[in-house]
Amino acid sequence: MNGALKAAWALTAFVVLVGLIGWIATGEAFFAVFIVLGLVTAAGAWLSGRSTGPKENKTP
């Protein structure tokens, strides 16, 4: 897992956590938007992580 992918997963966890805490603390349904955005970020991280194939050894 490279640095960008780790950052995407960290961002996902942060956004979902903020959404959950905000929704529970205030009762405002607006914070569901954070949860949805976190899930979209997770989908993007998962899809981009799957696109990296095995490294090829190109020695002549």
Residue for token pair 């194939």: 53
At residue 55, what is the residue type? K
DSSP-derived 3-state class of residue 28 = coil
pLDDT of residue 43: 87
Q: What is the pTM of this model?
A: 0.70
pLDDT of residue 2: 77
In this structure, are residues 15 and 27 in contact, taking their beta carbons and an 8 Å threshold? Answer: no
Integer Cα distance of 4 and 42 in angstroms: 13
pLDDT in tens, 1-59: 678 778 888 888 999 999 999 999 998 888 999 999 989 988 888 887 765 556 666 66
pLDDT of residue 56: 66
pLDDT of residue 33: 92
